[in-house]
Every structure is written in C-alpha cells, then in structure tokens.
Structure 1
Amino acid sequence: MAHQNRLIVYAYALAIVIFGAVIGWLLRNSGTPDFYQAPVVSGSMGQSIPGPHYALHCYDCKIPLIVDAETVGDENLPICFNCGASNSLEDISAQINRVSYEDVDEAFFTRWQRVVFDYQDSRYIKRIVGLPGEKIAIENGELFVDGELYQKDLQEFDQLSSVVFDSRFQPHDSSYNLLQRFGVRGDEQGWIYTADNVFAFDAPVKTHPQWLDYYHWNVVAGFVPPLERGTSTAIFDYLPYNQFISRSRLNFVDDFVLDISLKIYEPGVVGLRLLNVELELDFKRFELRRQAETGSGKVRLAKTKWDDKGTEVKFRIGLVDGLLIVANNNVYDKSGFKRLELSGDYDVDLAARLNPISISADEGVLDITHLRIARDIYWLGADYTANRWETELTEANPAFLLIGDNQPVSRDCRQWGEAIPEDAIVGIVSD
C-alpha cells in the first residue's frame, strides 16, 4: 500500500513538473515582457520618478509633499507648494526609490513614455520627447516638432503637469484659509464663505456678474528677496520637488488647467476668466460661450435635470499650448486664443498675472466644492533658459530625444548634444 501511495505521489510530482515546464515555455514564447528594476539615483525626473527624497504631508493643509533629499535640511525646511507652510523633517527619513521597467521591442516606443537606457557606461531614466527623424526645438517654454508648436491634449498635459493649488487641502491656520486667497470685487453681496469652508453664491433674482478672484501665492522655497507667507505672485516654472536649488531666474507660466466642481441648486450663468480669456457656462440655456482668437462661439452643453438638493457639475478648463480647452463628460471643445504677451517689464508682467483665475455668477444658487490648478511643463534649452534651442538629428540609425521632466536640473540629450540610439534603450518604465 505504501509503495502504491509513493507511486501516486511521484506521478503527481512529475505532472506538476511537466505542467510548470509547459507554462514556462508558453510564457517565454507568448510575447509577455520581462520585468526588471532599476535604482533612481537622481532627481532628473522630478516627482514623476523621484530620486532620494523625503515624502511627507504638510502639517497645516495635509497635502502630500515629495522633495529632493539633497535640497532640504534643518536650515532649509520644506515649503508646502499649496499653502506656503514650512514643514519639519523631524522623525522623517529619506527614501531611496526603485522603478520597474519592462523589456519591449522598438515598435512599442511612443512619445512621452519614460524609458531606461544606457549612455556612456551609465544607466538613466528619461522621457521620450523626440521620435526618430524629428527635429525638436524649444523656445519660451514651448515644444516644437518639425517647426510646428506641439499641442497636447489633456491626457498628455496630465502626464507632464504640476499641481500648484488644491482647495481640498485647506490650512488649519485661519490666517491662511481660502478667505485670504480669494477676493470679492467691491461690495458684491452674492458670494459668501460658508461654515463648510467653500465659497457659495446665492442670488435668486438675476443681477450682474459678480466676480470671485483667485490670487496665486508665492510658495517658492528660497525666493530672493524673502517674502511673507501668503504674498501674491504669478505662476512660475518652479518645481516644488527642487525646493532650495539656485536658479538665475524663474519664468512665468501662462499654460494651466483649472478643474472646477460645482454643486448647483438653482442654475444661472457661471463666468470664468483665465488670464485674458473669458467664457461663460450658461446652465439655463445649456450653452458654452467662449471668447477666443477665432471669434466668439457657442457649444451646446448636455441638458441636466436639476435636483433641489443640488446637482454636481464638473469641468476642466485650461490654456494649453495655444489652445483654450473646455471638457467634461459630454463636451471636449478646443479653440485658439490670443496669448497674454510679455511686455519685457517684470513688474508689469507680474502684476498682470497675480490674479490668474476669476469666477463669476449673475443668478442662481451654487457652491464651489473643489478647485484644482495644475501648470504645464515649461521646457528649457540646453543652457536651462527660455532661449531657443533646437536639435540636429542626423543619425543614420533610429534615435530618440530623451529629456528629464525636471527641466532646470536634468542633464540629458539637450546637454549631451545627441539623441539616444534605439538599441541603447533597455526598457519602458511600468506605471
């Protein structure tokens, strides 16, 4: 009996070995990519793939922060990009990051993928910006492909953007709550700040557009000259991951996207101004009316059945690469617009950008339940300035222009003066 049981066990074991071998053969021949890991030794990709860093939550507004471990310390404490609070590093240890990447064929390579590659006996992680045969140029923060301004859609924008404000994370210190960051024009009575820490509009009878202005705060760590917390400024190409790194100058960033959530109890017309561009969301006629370079235009909005207890409405509205984009679940509209130009006078240009976003209403009842602002990446040339820089892709073999997200820090194809051959790319970073 024991001998018979032993034979059964051997048979089961042999079956398992054969089954495992078959599965292994199938996996090796099924095209399933192999996965590997690589250490991240620098901050060239910023918060997208951080190098050695501290991860914390702001003590005041509780928003998550990721900062380069080499740019902060006991004398240079991390500054929150959302509320400007200075944060302690006590009992927080620096973290070392590793990324997983998969071995794939060249046919899978597309723009914006993050890749691992070898260059001059070192291994790097950067993002694909230029494809084989393309001529890439950078000027005034914009990317040009074969002489044309590259215009991203919102999905591409999200891969490269940086959040600069999120109303869900409000400081507990009342000296820096939303009342200090928003202003109502004149003696307008429609807007109120509620006990729920949101702005609400209440005007059952139609009046005139009443404006609520958002003022952007200076949260740049190490800004010279030093400014008090809560001081208004423009949106710059500052990356909070870098904290106290030294730069010769910061650049104005006029490309950003506003995510806005409303709870509407009685519909009216909501106006929005992003820098010098204005539009209206008419929730009575279900129309989007925009003022753009191509002329005024109307877009139909999906009809909504209003609930007496409030109806949630969400929109994404932004200025991205020369396009005004308005989107929600039912609408994706884009049109050209006339950019706010730089005069060359810093004080004049700064003053024009202190209040980048305004919201108005003329009747109805609504709450602004969420506001989130993210700025676009600001491309820099090989000398880390906004001056024009362009490639000369003359390689005989397919090669890719690879650049780090952390524009003022990364050393990459811009400084190396050459693209990276296809066979030097060892894998694509896994999400």
Structure 2
Amino acid sequence: MSPLIADQVEPQGATLRSGFVRQMVEFLIALSLGILVIRTFTAEAYVVPTGSMAPTLLGNHEEVACPNCGMRFALGLDEEGRAGHPVCPNCGEDKLDGVPIVPCSGDRLLVQKGLYDFKRPRRWEVAVFHFPADPTQAYVKRVVGLPGESVQIWRGDVYINGKIARKSFQEQRAIRILVYDSQFVTRDANRVPRFVFHRGRSQQSGLESAWRTEGPLLIHDAGDPTEDALDWAEYRHRDPDRAQYTPIYDFNPYNGGDLRGENRVPDLMVEAHLIVGNDVPTVDVRLNSGADRFVITLPFHESGLPQVRRNHREVALTHAVPIPDTPGHAPKSRVLEASVMDHRLSVSLDGVPLFDPVDYDNPAVGYVSDVSPIGVGVRHGSLTIERLKVFRDVYYTSALANTPRRPFGVDEPYKLGPDSFFVLGDNSSVSNDSRFWSKSPVVPGDLFLGKPFLVHLPGQVVPLEVFGRSVYWVPDPREIRYIR
C-alpha cells in the first residue's frame, strides 16, 4: 500500500528593525504566505512512506553505494524500518552487508489539488486519491483503466477491451525502470564483460572486430572503409539476483534480493549517447522483444530514410524523416532512444521521433533465450558510445508477494462502471492496488484528490546538533524531480 501523510508547513518570520534584514524577513514572510495560499487553494504536500510506486516514487529507504561499480540505489524499508538484502541492480554485487548506507525519508510530493474537478484522470497518469475502503487514507497509484472499459492483466501488460494498452514515448520514459548504465564500470569488468564484439552474424564468423572499451566508453575505430560486414557491440545482460547471464527479468532492487524477479520482460528501451564520425554511413540498432527481432538502420552520412526490419522482413514506415547531415562539422553527441514496449516500436534522435510508432498485434510466439537483447552495429568508420542505458517496462504481476489472494482483472477481464477507475502500482510484485483489494478494485471518480507533479523536498536522515536540538532530516536537492 502507499498511504500518504500530509506535510505540515508552517510560516516563519520575525520583526527586525535593521533595514536590509527587515526587508529579507518581510520577503520570507511574503514567500511563506504565498506558499500557504498555494497549498490551501492549489497544491497540497504529502509524504510517501512505502514503496509500491518504486522506483517512480520512493518510500522510506536506504541509499546504498555499490563498491564494485559505484552506482547508488534505493533499498526500501518496511513499516518496522527493516530493509531487505541489498543487491546492486547494475552489476549484481550482493556482498553489501556493512557497506555505508544513508537513511532517507520517503518522497515529498506536491499534489495539484482540484485538477480532477475539471478533467478526468488519464491512462498512465500518477494520481492521489482517498482509499475507497478507508477514505481517511490517501493513496498514490497509476491510473490504467477508465470508466466503461474492461481491464485485464496478461503476461505483464494491460489490456483494455481485449487490446493491449500502449504508451506514448513520453509515457514510456516516465515509467521505464533502469536495468544497466555503462557509466558505472565494474572493478571486475574483464572477468564479467557486459559487451561482446563481433563482425558478421556471430562470434564464429572469424572476422576481426574494430570495437574496444575504454573506461565507460565503447569505441569503434575507423578501420577498413571497404569493409561491408556489420561490426556489432552487443549488450550482455547479467541478472542481478541470479549472478549469471540471462534474459531480463522483473527484478526490482528496491525490494532487496530476497524477492527475486520471476518473470521475463520482453519490453525494453535503450538510450545511447553517440558521437558518430563523418566517415560512418549508417548505424544499426538491434532490439529483441520476446521472439521478435527488430533492426533499425539509421543513415547518418548517406542519403535515404531510416529503415526497419522485423524478423528479417522490411517494415513500412510512415512519416519517416531523414537524419540531418552536417558535413565538415566536428561530430557532436547525439541521444538515440529506441524501444519495443506494448507491441510498439518507437525510435527518436535528440528527442525527435524518426518515424511514427510501429504497432503490431501479432507478436512472434515464444521467447528467444537471448542474453544479448540489444546491439549497436556499424560497417566502418569511427563511432563512440559515450553512455548506454538499458531500461525495462513495468511487468504487472498476477500475484502479490506472499499473499494468496485471487486478483481482480487477471483471470478474466473486469468491467468498470461509470466514473470508475482501475489503478496499479509501478512496484507491481508488492503493490496492494486494484488487483488485490478485498471488496472492489474500483476507485470512484469523486475520491481523486489530485495529480502529483513534483518531488520537492527529498531528504536524508542525518543526525545534527542545531541550537542544542537533534535534527534528523535534511533536504537532498539531487533528488528533486518532476513527475511526468
């Protein structure tokens, strides 16, 4: 569950007679009154104590710094303040007992009140509402089902009226869960490599690759300009709680290593920061999703439009746009994003879609036991991948951890009535949401309080002595963020 506790905001000020100081105090009083007015009529502040929406919103947790790769990650605390066994999501390091940790309070949200008096909640929107079974409690979840719809969870996805519910690229960015970040290089990178390089179809081709690693960078040297075989840098996924190369599962580090990821996740996204040399004609990106294989060809320095092949067959694209070529200019860093989520392929460069999303309703049957679901290929020329991040989509589970409760909307569709909504938590395996409420899965429209839009005062719990008093919470400006 994700109950919210309202913050107490108190205006502060004093009467001082010094000119400058008095002006400052008057300014602070006016600012405090402004905040009070905003809070009263526009926004309300809440605290998230639990992690049913993690990693989008964090409850009370510990911040753990992995000594092997340097990544910092959140480890949730239960109602008694106990944490699970920490496992680094990036490198899988699990010998973290005794590692210094920083206790952190739950996210503090600013919630736009009254918004839903003028418009109804939209699908994939994060919303705050009164819990129907106990209206004195406020919950925060993500809206997935709207009035009059039939909702069903099947194989990790949401289906509405029998069809998969797809997300826009912006919604995908808001929900995605980080799986790997090449910026955090492990101390044992040579023993447990995360990338494999090969020219041609496989490592057995016998052709020499021009790829190499240099710290966090993946570098392709110029090589022979007449070479025509694709030279691939392929990401290898090492499962954090299995300590071996596997397909990507729905492990959530916030829950600790005691709660394993049990479900394969075919819905993936890659974000690559590229410096493409002027001698690189095209860059290919491969994404595997279940048994489907997509290859996107991007013409950086040759004429033509982006091309897509699905399972070796060309896909017709609509509104494809060419990639601007800048001959004679020094290459600059470009941000490439490509995803296959909800049976939808999307690709953008520097935030601009390169073609309309490619939707398909006939996914290939089965799974490919592939530990390398993502690859970047180039035939020749100099290419540097400054940073590569791999994300997965939320996999909505059919069971609540350690709770033998028959869920709503899993075994069969659930039909929503007028002004009725179905909500889910992003931390699906531990989220007590519409699936598992005992009496009804419905949130009536009049119980919605508003939409959270900002994590405004995330904080660390640090003992300090201020004027003889112990202060245990200090703001952490690194974690201030908008909620999309």
TM-score, normalised on structure 2?
0.72
CA 1:407–1:263: 2 relative to 1, 3 Å: same
**Aligned-partner Cα distance in 1 for 2:215–2:400:** 48
- Kindly provide the amino acid, as one letter, of the partner of residue 128 in structure 1: V
Q: 2:232 is matched with which residue: 205, 208, 211? A: 211
Shift of 1:72: 13
Sort the Cα spacing of 1:412 and 1:131 in 2 relative to 1 into closer, same or farther, 3 A: same
The one-letter amino acid of 1:157's match is Q
Note the residue ranges of structure 2 that are not aligned, 5 or more in a row: 1-25, 402-406, 455-484
Q: Name stretches of at least 5 consecutive residues in structure 1 with no aligned partner.
A: 1-15, 343-348
Confirm whether residue 193 of structure 1 aligns to residue 202 of structure 2. no
Pick the structure with more helix per residue: 1
In 1: Cα distance, 2:171 partner to 2:74 partner: 22
Q: Hey, what does 1:322 align to over in structure 2?
A: 343
CA distance in 1, matches of 2:197, 2:298: 21
Please say which structure displays the higher CA radius of gyration.
1
SS at match of 2:103: coil
Provide the C-alpha distance between the structure 2 equivalents of 1:296 and 1:117, rounded to a whole number of angstroms: 43
Whether 1:97 aligns to 2:110 is no
* 1:318-397 map, 5 Å: 318-329=339-350, 330-333=352-355, 334-336=357-359, 339-342=363-366, 349=367, 352-381=369-398, 388-394=411-417
Aligned to 1:161: 176
Q: How many residues align?
A: 390
C-alpha displacement of 1:236: 0.8
Query: Which one of the candidate residues 269, 288, 291 is aligned to 2:309?
Result: 291
For the 8 Å contact 1:279–1:290, the answer to whether it is kept is yes
Aligned partner of 1:238 in structure 2 is 251
Q: In the alignment, does 2:439 pair up with 1:425?
A: no
User: Aligned to 1:171, what secondary structure does the other structure show?
Assistant: coil
> What secondary structure is seen at the aligned counterpart in 1 of 2:55?
helix
Shift of 1:66: 0.8
Amino acid at match of 1:182: V
How far apart, CA to CA, are the structure 2 residues paired with 1:262 and 1:72? 45
* SS of 1:97 mapped into structure 2: coil
1:123 maps to 138
Percent of pairs with identical residues: 22
52-61 or 284-293: bigger deviation: 284-293
Instruction: Give the Cα separation in 1 of the matches to 2:59 and 2:215.
Output: 38
Residue 110 of structure 1 corresponds to 122
Alpha-carbon contact 1:77-1:89 (below 8 Å) kept:
no
Instruction: Tell me what 1:40 maps to.
Output: 48
- Show CA shifts across 1:357-412 (max 9, x none): 12221122211222111111112236679964422223x5x222122111111111
Counterpart position of 1:65: 73
2:196 aligns with 182
Q: CA deviation at 1:155?
A: 0.7
Q: C-alpha separation between the residues in 2 aligned to 1:313 and 1:94?
A: 37
Q: Which residue of 2 aligns with 1:268?
A: 281
More displaced 10-residue stretch of structure 1: 112-121 or 208-217: 112-121
Q: Deviations over 1:191-247 (max 9, x none)?
A: 232445422222241211122222100102xx4xxx4xxx21111112121123446
What CA distance in whole angstroms lies between the structure 2 residues aligned with 1:391 and 1:162? 27
Amino acid at match of 2:281: G
TM-score, normalised with respect to structure 1:
0.80
Quick one: distance in 2 between partners of 1:72 and 1:237? 25
CA contact (8 A) 2:50 2:106 kept: no
Amino acid in the other structure paired with 1:419: V
Q: 1:148 aligns with which of 144, 163, 174?
A: 163
User: Displacement, 1:56?
Assistant: 2.7
Distance 1:112 1:31, change over 3 A: farther
2:346–2:353: 8 Å Cα contact kept in structure 1?
A: no
2:57 paired residue among 49, 55, 71: 49
